[in-house]
Structure 1
Amino acid sequence: MKKHIFSLSIILANLLMWAIAYPHISDQVPIHWSSSGEVDRYASKMEAMLTMMGLLVFLYIMMILTPKLDPRRKNYQLFSKTYHLLINAMLLLFFLINLLVVMTGLGYDLPTGSIVPVLVGVLLIVIGNYLPRVRSNFFFGIKNPWTLSSDAIWKKTHRFAAKVFTAAGLLIAADGLFSISEGMMLPIILITVFAPYIYSYVLYRKEMDVKS
């Protein structure tokens, strides 16, 4: 139960924040911003609260269910601390985004164009630092037919992905702080997602060539 205390505390703190702020929030609340920091979607405050709270609760439920549903559930015991740390990091990110939505709904003019990239960048850096500890499973990490086919490919891919995620996080955070280039975050995230997949396929082909 101790490993759930932090997660449940974040959810409870988020619920209390919404309960206290709800009567004072404007009827229409910004819930999405473009890469330049401009609001591009509004929602009613009820929709905003339910959506943002729902994301936290969904992530927490998935945290509990995933190790039980995974055919390689025994491997979670090998990186249990890392698994909960990364899930809690994501929960904390969503909590801070909730805070951003609430503060904006209360009328505060916040530099969202800087805050969001910094938060995303820090999360990617944290993920990058812990990815090499993740063991083979069907739900968490860089999972595809090639990484799941070989523990060696899994480990090499996650060591490579760790470098990619860390570099991407630094670039995105720097862009948020110093406005290096407008619209920079999306291309970096796409590269961060696809580069490890391509790398794992290359490793797989090399392994098959050796075996043949």
Structure 2
Amino acid sequence: MKQPDYTKEILILVLLLIPMAYLGIIWPSLPAIIPTNFNIEGVPERVGTKRDFLLLMIFLFFTNALIYFLFRYIPKEDEITDSGEVSHKEFYRIRFLIHTYQAVFTCIIIFMVSQGKPFAMERWAFIGVGLLLTAIGYYLRNLKPNNYVGVRTPWTLQSTEIWTETHRMASNLWLSAGIAVIIAGFFLSLVTGVFIIFFIAIVLAALPYIYSFRLFNKDKG
């Protein structure tokens, strides 16, 4: 069994923490009132506070953290073997790309707010998360059985057929969720959007797991 590369794990955790560290450094200089939506004439239609912005950043941080734990701890290392078609190197490359995207995207939002740039804050945050979910969903569709990436349940790892069916379902689910989050960003308030996306995250993690279990028991008769 391939052991985790702790140096690379630390680097990924650093990527996870960089946006919050950046926010902490520039927090005193952020404006107390932050315009979050502008009409075509450049007049703010909605404003928020630093506390509202902090809530948005916490939401982005926990979204990134959820993705980290899904990749790192599901399933546990002692539940898998070392015969997957996706290499250990590819496993870390995919994770680096995802967390780099999230870190850069979040830091850009923080920088724009610190500079007083007019933009729809919630909209861009939800669009960023939605694009990430959509990209992961597209990637899952043709993912081959392996021990590192994907819906790695005890049942998908035992059967190529269950793996394929589960990932087809998971791909459609993540793609649909990503598109829904993007659309929701144009209509929902920050607080409502955060709670809805937390619910979506639970669904994205739970449904493929349950689906693979049902397929396994169906095959067993």
TM-score of the alignment, normalized to the shorter chain, above 0.5: yes
Q: Give the letter aligned to residue 217 of structure 2.
A: R
Q: Specify the alignment match of 2:82 in structure 1.
A: 72
User: Shift of residue 201 of structure 1?
Assistant: 0.8
Q: Give the letter aligned to residue 168 of structure 1.
A: A
Q: State yes or no: 1:133 paired with 2:147.
A: no
CA RMSD of aligned residues (A): 4.1
Counterparts in 2 of 1:133 and 1:72: CA distance versus 1, 3 Å: farther
Counterparts in 2 of 1:28 and 1:134: CA distance versus 1, 3 Å: farther
Q: Specify the alignment match of 1:145 in structure 2.
A: 154
Q: Which whole-Å CA distance do the structure 2 matches of 1:29 and 1:148 have between them?
A: 48
Deviation per CA, 1:67-96, whole angstroms, max 9, x where unpaired? xx974355115x95x984675244223211
Q: State yes or no: 1:204 paired with 2:202.
A: no
Matches within 5 A, 1:10-29: 25-27=26-28
User: Shift of residue 171 of structure 1?
Assistant: 0.3
| Equivalent residues of 1:168, 1:189 under 8 A apart | no
Counterparts in 2 of 1:40 and 1:73: CA distance versus 1, 3 Å: farther
| Equivalent residues of 1:132, 1:158 under 8 A apart | yes
Q: Give the letter aligned to residue 198 of structure 1.
A: I
Q: Specify the alignment match of 1:4 in structure 2.
A: none
| Equivalent residues of 1:174, 1:180 under 8 A apart | no
Q: Specify the alignment match of 2:114 in structure 1.
A: 105
User: Shift of residue 28 of structure 1?
Assistant: 6.3
Q: Which whole-Å CA distance do the structure 2 matches of 1:148 and 1:107 have between them?
A: 50
Structure 2: gaps spanning 5 or more residues: 1-14, 32-47, 73-77
User: Shift of residue 27 of structure 1?
Assistant: 2.9
Counterparts in 2 of 1:107 and 1:74: CA distance versus 1, 3 Å: same
Matches within 5 A, 1:42-121: 71-72=81-82, 74-77=84-87, 80=90, 84=93, 87-108=96-117, 110-121=119-130
User: Shift of residue 134 of structure 1?
Assistant: 2.4
Q: Which whole-Å CA distance do the structure 2 matches of 1:83 and 1:207 have between them?
A: 33
Counterparts in 2 of 1:26 and 1:203: CA distance versus 1, 3 Å: closer
Deviation per CA, 1:35-81, whole angstroms, max 9, x where unpaired? xx874575xxxxx9xxx8xx8xxx7xx99xxxxx974355115x95x
Q: Specify the alignment match of 2:38 in structure 1.
A: none
Q: Specify the alignment match of 2:36 in structure 1.
A: none
What is the TM-score of this pair, normalised by structure 2?
0.59
The percentage of aligned residue pairs carrying the same residue is: 26
Counterparts in 2 of 1:143 and 1:126: CA distance versus 1, 3 Å: same
Higher helix share: 1
| Equivalent residues of 2:84, 2:147 under 8 A apart | no
What is the TM-score of this pair, normalised by structure 1?
0.61
